[in-house]
Amino acid sequence: MGIGVVKENDNYIVIHKPAGLATQTAKMGEKDLVSEVKNYLAKKGQKNPYLAVINRLDQPVEGLVLLAKKESIARELSKQLTDNQINKYYYATVWGKLDKPSGVLEDYLLKDAKSNSSKVVNKGTQGAKLARLEYEVIAGNDKTDMLRVHLITGRHHQIRVQFANLGHPLLGDTKYGNVQSVAFSKEIGMRCIWLKAYHLSFRDPQTKEMVNIELDIK
């Protein structure tokens, strides 16, 4: 199936999405996470299962994706996401050495649907949305830093764009990378973006208890 079921009940399912698999696509004949999960549920005897993606990951990104199995659950979880009540943590490796061991990045991002890209723009730019994240350096060498990132908002390509704008693009990112980061990524044979969504926490819409899920990603 190419996906891993991390947690499942009657209301939602949490999947470990591999890098390279789109969360959802309109391209004919191309596999995506939603179709794979529907196939998995169909094999369990659930006909025409309802699925709604709550947190979406870019196709090259690995990690946890939460999907609701009922419309009422989808509404509640989507509200939590909109209210920034779903905690999302990532591991990321960036090119270069950051000036500070920890910090907050706050920018305004503007999405260009035609090129499927986003960029940092000035506050007040029409269509721009506030993007905010926290980071801390947890490891590194003379050329790269590995970070733990708390994604507070969930904008299009947010982590990739904000660190690229800072001058530290993610390894393996050919869309937002610079000459040095792309060359180094090729040198070490990196074929996907080094960005892993490893932790997800949310409030169970039915029990109201906090659910904490974490992957052990090497």
Domains 4-86 and 89-195 share a fold: yes
DSSP class per residue in 175-205: TT--HHHHHHHHHTT--S--EEEEEEEEE-T
Asked if the model's pLDDT at residue 3 lies above 90, the reply is no
What value does the mean pLDDT take over residues 180-193? 94
pLDDT at 28: 66
Asked if the model's pLDDT at residue 190 lies above 80, the reply is yes
Lowest-confidence pick of 39-53, 122-136, 154-168? 39-53
Selection from 25, 103, 29, 102 nearest residue 58 by Cα: 25
What value does the mean pLDDT take over residues 55-59? 91
Domain extent listing, the chain: 4-86, 89-195
Classify residue 49 by its DSSP letter: -
Lowest-confidence pick of 28-32, 96-100, 173-177? 28-32
Q: Describe the chain by its helix, strand, coil percentages, rounded to 5.
A: 20, 40, 45
pLDDT at 215: 92
Does residue 134 contact residue 107 with C-beta atoms inside 8 Å?
no
User: Does domain 4-86 sit in CATH 3.40.50.2300?
Assistant: no
> For the CA atoms of the chain, what is the radius of gyration?
18
Q: Give residue for tokens 């660190």.
A: 163
State pLDDT tens for residues 130-152. Answer: 999 999 999 999 999 999 999 99
What value does the mean pLDDT take over residues 155-170? 97
Q: Pull the structure tokens for residue 155.
A: 């904008």
Q: Which CATH superfamily is domain 89-195 in?
A: Pseudouridine synthase (3.30.2350.10)
